[in-house]
Amino acid sequence: MIKYGILMMVLLASVSCTEEVKWISTTEDQSWLLEKGLQKKSVQESIDVEIDTDQKLQTIEGFGACFNELGWTSLSSLSASDKDVIFKELFAPEFGANFNICRMPLGANDFSRDWYSYNETEGDFEMTNFSIDNDKETLIPFIKEALNENPELKIWASPWSPPSWMKWNKHYACRIPWESLDEKFNNFLPEDKQGMEGTNMFIQEDAYLKAYALYFSKFIDAYREQGINISMVMPQNEFNSCQIFPSCTWTAAGLANFVGNYLGPAMDEQQVEIMLGTMERPTVALVDTILNDAEAGKYIKGVGFQWAGKEAIPGVHQKYPDMKLYQTEQECGDGKNDWGFCEYSWTLMKHYLNNGVCAYMYWNISLAEGGYSRWGWQQNSLITLDTLANTYQFNHEFYLMKHVSHYVKAGAVLLKTTGEFNDLLAFQNPDKSLVLVIHSEVAKELKIKIGDKMIAPKLKAGSFNTFVIKD
């Protein structure tokens, strides 16, 4: 028995020393393939990259996407069993994409069925006619399906436009459509009612600003009554962008006044955080104006960036190293959902995470084939629906998101890497496991040093790879 016990200990030690590293790969032609045979070994040769587990960067809150009305209407064409598969794959903890933080619009956005707000009764400063009945048809069931899979899912919200009567042009949009756009996408905005970047479209009067803060509070309360807690708000989506769809430009000073004197106190009472955003311009000064405002700065807990805001984020992160930063909307593509855009999306993810963001959000969860918005913009989505055949497919960018979000847990930290190879992201989870997400343009053996060990996977050309390494 003693000899048998010793033999078992030797065998177990042998298995431990040759434990395989978990490796998942995705190429344009083959998604989410489990690769076999990769093992840790002693460092014996020159390396391409080293993972520095002593140099910990920001803590990761999580990954997700946005609940849009056209996401729900597209999914609604599927059978209940197909929807169950999709929602489990998107939101169930430890299962698929493992999304744990998502965005929603506060009222209509560019991927709503059409324009609406929660109160279009002009002059109703007391919000007597406030109603979320529209959302009970789309956004609320969408979010509840996700919460069924992950009750801990965090939801945050931002408006694209306030009620139209709160804007000087009395319209949800800021500019007329371009001439090439099909008439069915018309917003019927008169030319003399167009707005302009760098101006306040919102009426800067006390009664309107006070009513708008109340509008936010009514939204928080109404959603709580539906069993949905909104953890954070941003005061305006893309406050510099004058769009043909729901939008509202603000000056930085106007937004600071609204946050500091109206929205901030209202959300404090609701115990809901405010982050500044969403920032879509490459200008650190716009952020400075609001963060350094004596009143607004007291309430702002972070900053959200998207689109050209990516160019401002390095400067903001350097200037405010302790500020919480989100990537709030991944650039949206052209509705083709092709591999080339998936690879571009990877460059965005690296840029944002390497410059301090702690949460990264995709945009459209699901769209009907073609990816059209109500206002004529074709965009990508994680899932594409053939609504005639009632079939669906997960697109390339879904698997890219999953390569990160499935394995990188809330509370993980981004790690610094060194070496000539830099097409990767490295994380350490709370359980001390390491997650490496690596892209390779060409077929190559990549030598990766971790502590006193290394791995040397042979990567396929044009591949995304995730490695999970345990002590």
Lowest-confidence pick of 43-52, 93-102, 112-121, 160-169: 43-52
Report the candidate in 462, 438, 440, 444 with the shortest Cα–Cα distance to residue 28: 462
Q: What is the pLDDT of residue 181?
A: 79
Q: What is the pLDDT of residue 17?
A: 46
Cα gap 288→310, rounded to integer Å: 16
Binned at pLDDT 50, 70 and 90, residue 384 comes out as very high
313 and 357 Cβ atoms separated by less than 8 Å = yes
**Mean local confidence (pLDDT), 102-107:** 98
Q: What is the pLDDT of residue 13?
A: 39
Joined tokens for residue 292? 């350094």
Dump strand ranges (E) for 17-113.
22-26, 33-35, 41-42, 49-59, 62-66, 101-105
Joined tokens for residue 2? 């003693």
User: How big is the chain by its Cα radius of gyration, in Å?
Assistant: 24
Joined tokens for residue 25? 């790969």
Question: 471 pLDDT exceeds 90?
Answer: no
CA angle 346, 349, 354 (to 5 degrees): 125
Cα gap 20→38, rounded to integer Å: 5
174 and 247 Cβ atoms separated by less than 8 Å = yes
Binned at pLDDT 50, 70 and 90, residue 11 comes out as very low
269 and 217 Cβ atoms separated by less than 8 Å = yes
pLDDT in tens, 141-177: 999 999 999 999 999 999 999 999 999 999 999 999 9
Binned at pLDDT 50, 70 and 90, residue 12 comes out as very low
Cα gap 257→385, rounded to integer Å: 43
**Mean local confidence (pLDDT), 349-355:** 98
Q: What is the pLDDT of residue 19?
A: 66
* 117 or 20, greater pLDDT: 117
**Mean local confidence (pLDDT), 96-105:** 98
* Alpha helix ranges (H) inside 36-160: 69-75, 80-91, 139-149
Q: What is the pLDDT of residue 387?
A: 87
Question: 221 pLDDT exceeds 50?
Answer: yes
Q: What is the pLDDT of residue 4?
A: 41
Report the candidate in 223, 220, 252, 224 with the shortest Cα–Cα distance to residue 236: 252
Cα gap 171→166, rounded to integer Å: 9
Question: 248 pLDDT exceeds 70?
Answer: yes
CA-to-CA separations, 470 to 295, 372, 373, 411, 467, in angstroms, rounded: 47, 44, 44, 17, 10
Tokens 């892209």 locate to: 439
Cα gap 205→258, rounded to integer Å: 10
Q: What is the pLDDT of residue 45?
A: 84
Dihedral sign computed on CA atoms, order 365, 371, 374, 376: positive
Q: What is the pLDDT of residue 149?
A: 98
pLDDT in tens, 304-318: 999 999 999 999 999
Furthest-apart CA atoms within the chain: distance in Å: 93
Question: 336 pLDDT exceeds 80?
Answer: yes
**Mean local confidence (pLDDT), 87-109:** 98
Q: What is the pLDDT of residue 179?
A: 78
Binned at pLDDT 50, 70 and 90, residue 204 comes out as very high
CA angle 141, 143, 146 (to 5 degrees): 110
The average confidence (pLDDT) of the chain is 95
Question: 16 pLDDT exceeds 50?
Answer: no
Joined tokens for residue 413? 């930290």
